[in-house]
Amino acid sequence: MKTYTTEQIRNVVLMGNTKSGKTTLAEAMMLEGKVIDRRGTVEAKNTVCDNTEIEQLYQRSIYPTLFYTEYQDHKLNFIDTPGSDDFIGGLISAFRVADSGVMLVNGQHGVEVGTEIFSRYAEQHNVPLFLAISQLDHEKANWDASLDSLKEAFGSKVCLIQFPVETGLAFNAYVDVLQMKMYRFTDDSGTREELDIPAELADKADELHAELIERAAEADEGLMEVFFEAGSLTPEQIAQGLVIGFRKCELMPLVIVSGKKDIGVKRLMELITLIAPHPGLTTATTVSGEKIPCDVKGVPSLYIYKTSQEQHLGDIAYFRVMSGKITEAMDLVNANNGTKERISGLFVAAGKKREKVTELVAGDMGCTVKLKSAKSNHTLNGGGKDWEFAPIAYPPAKFRTAIKAQSEKDDEKLGEILNKASAEDPTIVVEYSKELKQIIVSGQGEHHINTLKWHINNTYKMEVDLLSPKIPYRETITKMAASSYRHKKQSGGAGQFGEVHMLIEPYVEGAPENTRFKVDGKDLVLSIRGRDEHTMEWGGKLVYYNCIVGGSIDGRFMPAILKGIMEKMEEGPLTGSYARDINCYVYDGKMHPVDSNEISFKLAGRNAFREAFKKAGPKIMEPIYMVEVMVPSDCMGDVMSDLQNRRALIEGMSSEKGFQVLRARVPLAELNKYSTTLSSLTSGRASFTMTLAEYAQVPADIQDRLLKEYEEEEKDE
């Protein structure tokens, strides 16, 4: 394969709702570029892109797949992305390395859920889009309805380049209003005739051509002046206006394609080479703010946007060359961890088909194998540079579950599998919760996590269970209470003895120290001899006061008492959850000249704390999340009703681009499988984010239930 210059390269993300035909279009483009010699089909399970067992089983894309094709002395790198929001990570990573995109729209349905969601992400990442209507050869295809839905979704950005002569089973021709020609296709291999526009379509073509000229003129002041003076633009000027408008994300050129019949495929690739920006027009920003131009003369640097594992091959790193030229056997340094890496093999990829190359220039994309410690989001540099490009920012997880191996002997292996899965797909977040005594796996949706489970079951032959995750409650107190506890144990020889008197009260940030209390109707005045403030890992504080006078407890035992208290803070007296925000005063006690030791005072301190806690108006706090739901207006009532059934507190509503944005505070305990319910209520059209807002007291009936459940657990143990 020849080495292409930066100006000859285009990097494009291929996106669209599930069943829009992305994988079929990819096959047609690779066939046109002679990357493959036979077109595969999804049904036959032999396509380049959907090449994994689970993708073939579900007959849909699950992983982003890099492929390339060659056309008119250009190399077009595409990333075929999944059509489900559950696998949005593949699209987000593709946006990092692509400079433009093609949004495929199913001509039977028009704008769908994926179209709406993916276009919002494209706008956030400033990626200009082509629109391509596919499947107009289906008997239920509806061009007018599809066009109307696109105009409703994207407004004046939609810029019509082509329209079909007819749709349905007889679909075989379209009119191109940029070329002002009709193209008729005579077979399913892309063979086309270039014809004059028929008389019955001439008026429509002229009207759309005039609109196209106006849209091109509007993209640039200079072109607008030419248009006002001459009343029209030349074909070259129209193209110039399309380029400017597209790259400013103000125009979305609309074309027609059929990957199955190879209709419009060559023209789409031609327009990509004509209109889409080449990588040399871009710069990348490092985490330190330095701007790095995509220049072949620069220092060699590459950014890894994805890693995967293949049997018999190991880890594969997919990357974009950010600067300079990457050659085989080149030594680079990983800016993220300082390790040296050698590029032992350099490949261009078309799915699992890989062709070895000797070099890749700035802006090009490829893959390599056998890197020692390079992962997704890592930057490798030459020339002594320490450039580090910012990691990809993925959407926060929407679905969480606990996972457990059915056999305890598989626990360690399960951890290794989950770590590998998270390295390949960073939207899978794995947390080993010491607090909950569970492995919590979070992802973008239930289907996302079920796919992970399928891999564990089928690839690694391990049976696992998915369980409802426990809730990380917190325990605290609402009033002052005092208690004492004597630990005494005598069993021959040296015994154990320790007695601790303590008082606890709620910790309030910024409140003055208190030394006067009323205990059992009597005034108690404390003399503070020492104060230790401890910020807990799980939030909140413990302030430990030494108020011992007269030597009733030797100073060497005070750390042991604190240790006992800390143990009970870590396993709260009510439900075993973490405790927080407590002032603890140790003010009296007793010791034995022989039998007192650290363990005695640790146990005395622990039990005195537990008893005081239960008398101090204890309460259970639950995590409250701020949930922001973007929902179509016609589904608003159902979504709001469902949230209210989840104990939600609605905080506000607004509108954004045809959607209603609903903000509510919702207890985490009520959000189990919310993503699945929301998808069901809105036919998958809504999306949401959730972030921890605060901890708040649980209602009394729920606290009673939690206490009873914990008591039962304690009895069982």
Q: What is the pLDDT of residues 8-31, one digit of tens each?
A: 999 999 999 988 999 999 999 999
Which stretches within 546-699 are classed as H helix? 558-570, 598-615, 636-645, 674-682
Pick the more confident residue, 582 or 630: 582
State both tokens at 453.
């489970």
When pLDDT is cut at 50, 70 and 90, the band that residue 520 belongs to is confident
Q: Give the pLDDT of residue 525.
A: 94
How far apart are alpha carbons 515 and 595 in whole angstroms?
32
How far apart are alpha carbons 424 and 20 in whole angstroms?
26
What is the DSSP pairing of strand 100-106 with strand 74-80? Answer: unpaired
* Averaged pLDDT for residues 411-422: 94
* Averaged pLDDT for residues 678-682: 91
Reduced to 3 states (helix: H, G, I; strand: E, B; else coil), residue 646 is: coil
pLDDT higher than 80, residue 714: no
Q: Give the pLDDT of residue 168.
A: 93
When pLDDT is cut at 50, 70 and 90, the band that residue 492 belongs to is low
Q: Give the pLDDT of residue 171.
A: 95
User: Within 10 A of 584 (CB to CB), how many other CB atoms are there?
Assistant: 23
State both tokens at 517.
């209390």
Domains along the chain with CATH numbers: 8-275 (3.40.50.300), 283-381 (2.40.30.10), 399-470 (3.30.70.870), 475-617 (3.30.230.10), 621-702 (3.30.70.240)
Q: Are 29 and 269 in contact (CB under 8 A)?
A: yes
State both tokens at 703.
């606290």
How far apart are alpha carbons 254 and 167 in whole angstroms?
16
User: Within 10 A of 31 (CB to CB), how many other CB atoms are there?
Assistant: 21
Q: Which residue type occupies 585?
A: Y
State both tokens at 148.
């109307």
The residue to which tokens 């320790």 are assigned: 498
Q: Give the pLDDT of residue 56.
A: 84
**pLDDT, tens digit (0-9, with 9 covering 90-100), for 640-651:** 999 999 999 999
When pLDDT is cut at 50, 70 and 90, the band that residue 616 belongs to is very high
* Tally: H helices and E strands in the chain: 16, 40
How far apart are alpha carbons 80 and 349 in whole angstroms?
12
Give one word for 72, left, alpha or beta, with left for phi > 0 and alpha for psi -120 to 50. Answer: left
Hey, which residues does 258 pair with through a beta bridge? 263
Q: Give the pLDDT of residue 123.
A: 95
Q: How far is CA 502 from CA 343, 481, 565, 683, in A?
A: 65, 9, 11, 58
First to last CA, the chain: 67
pLDDT higher than 80, residue 124: yes
Q: Are 295 and 283 in contact (CB under 8 A)?
A: no
When pLDDT is cut at 50, 70 and 90, the band that residue 717 belongs to is low
Residues 6+ apart with CB under 8 A from 511: none
**Of the candidates 521, 65, 101, 99, the residue with the CA atom closest to the CA atom of residue 310:** 65
Per DSSP (E only), the strands in 91-206 are 100-106, 129-134, 158-160, 162-164, 173-176, 181-185, 192-195
Check residue 85 and report its DSSP letter: G
How far apart are alpha carbons 681 and 685 in whole angstroms?
9
Q: Are 470 and 436 in contact (CB under 8 A)?
A: yes
What is the DSSP pairing of strand 496-506 with strand 481-489? Answer: antiparallel
Reduced to 3 states (helix: H, G, I; strand: E, B; else coil), residue 25 is: helix
State both tokens at 73.
């002395």
**Whole-structure pTM value:** 0.85
How far apart are alpha carbons 645 and 683 in whole angstroms?
20
State the sign of the Cα–Cα–Cα–Cα dihedral 330, 333, 339, 345.
negative
State the sign of the Cα–Cα–Cα–Cα dihedral 672, 674, 677, 683.
negative
**pLDDT, tens digit (0-9, with 9 covering 90-100), for 29-69:** 999 999 998 888 888 888 888 888 888 888 888 899 999 99
Q: Are 233 and 38 in contact (CB under 8 A)?
A: no
Q: How far is CA 79 from CA 10, 73, 148, 706, in A?
A: 11, 20, 28, 49
Q: Give the pLDDT of residue 116.
A: 87
pLDDT higher than 90, residue 431: yes
**pLDDT, tens digit (0-9, with 9 covering 90-100), for 133-177:** 999 999 999 999 999 999 999 999 999 999 999 999 999 999 999
User: Within 10 A of 144 (CB to CB), how many other CB atoms are there?
Assistant: 10
> What is the average pLDDT value for the chain, to the nearest integer?
93
pLDDT higher than 80, residue 716: no
How far apart are alpha carbons 118 and 608 in whole angstroms?
58
Check residue 539 and report its DSSP letter: S
How far apart are alpha carbons 680 and 639 in whole angstroms?
10
pLDDT higher than 90, residue 546: yes
CA atoms within 13 A on the CB side of 171: 26
Q: Are 52 and 65 in contact (CB under 8 A)?
A: no
**pLDDT, tens digit (0-9, with 9 covering 90-100), for 380-416:** 999 999 999 999 999 988 899 999 999 999 999 999 9
Q: Which residue type occupies 253?
A: P
How far apart are alpha carbons 104 and 16 in whole angstroms?
5
State both tokens at 424.
């390949």
**pLDDT, tens digit (0-9, with 9 covering 90-100), for 220-236:** 999 999 999 999 999 99
Q: Give the pLDDT of residue 114.
A: 87
Q: How far is CA 352 from CA 67, 94, 306, in A?
A: 9, 18, 14
**DSSP sequence for 109-139:** T-S-HHHHHHHHHHHHTT--EEEEEE-TTST
CA atoms within 13 A on the CB side of 614: 13
Q: Give the pLDDT of residue 102.
A: 98
